[in-house]
Amino acid sequence: MITGYNITNFDLPYLLNRAEALKLQQFPYLGRVKGSRSTMRDTTFSSKAYGTRESKAISTCALGRHQVGMQKLT
């Protein structure tokens, strides 16, 4: 389990981008499945009640790790 306050929209994207800038080729393998690289993509949620929310999706959830963000979206 990976947990943090704003891990999905700040911590993990920052770490993945920083590792790419530093050319750390082994870092993006955050999951438990050997050889499966973690990826990041932009997502958008829209509803009448909450409006439009933009966020990031990190693929570590499908690879044997569960990420829990503690930030309440308002």
Whole-angstrom distance, CA of residue 31 vs CA of residue 44: 24
Token pair, residue 53, equals 């929310």
* Averaged pLDDT for residues 2-11: 84
Identify the residue with better confidence: 71 or 31. 31
pLDDT, tens digit, 9 for 90 and up, residues 13-68: 998 999 999 999 988 888 788 888 888 889 898 988 888 888 888 877 556 777 77
Q: Phi and psi of 15, rounded to 5°?
A: -65, -40
Token pair, residue 7, equals 């891990």
pLDDT at site 19:
92
